[in-house]
Amino acid sequence: MAYYKINWRNEFVEEPFMCLIEVDENGFEQKKIEIYNNHIMKIASNKFQRGTFLSPDKFYFEDYNYESYKEKISVVEISIVYFNMEWNRAIRI
């Protein structure tokens, strides 16, 4: 498994500013946390969905590092410890 934090600076109120994802060895999401400016957290896993869903598309690190005049997206790899801490917090909300 690999773990990523996607920062998304955008002007869309209804979109998350950060996503944390767990990706399997084949490149597909297994868990996802979306964090919004109003402190809402939406989560999904291969077992359940709460406000969001897992992408059916393969995750490519390169697709998440770009900038335009309306948005900036960047991705970094994170530890399993950090991901699990955020996941455990999100499932309690």
Percent of the chain with pLDDT over 90: 70
Residue 90 has which token pair? 């999100």
Checking if the pLDDT of 12 tops 90, the result is no
Q: How confident is the model at residue 39 (pLDDT cuts 50, 70, 90)?
A: confident
Q: The domain containing residue 88 runs over which residues?
A: 2-92
Checking if the pLDDT of 7 tops 90, the result is yes
Q: Total structural domains in the chain?
A: 1
**Cα atoms in the 13 Å half-sphere on the side-chain side of 10:** 15
Buried b (16+ CB within 10 A) or exposed e, 50-69: eeeebeeeebeeeebeeeee
Query: Average pLDDT of 50-60?
Result: 96
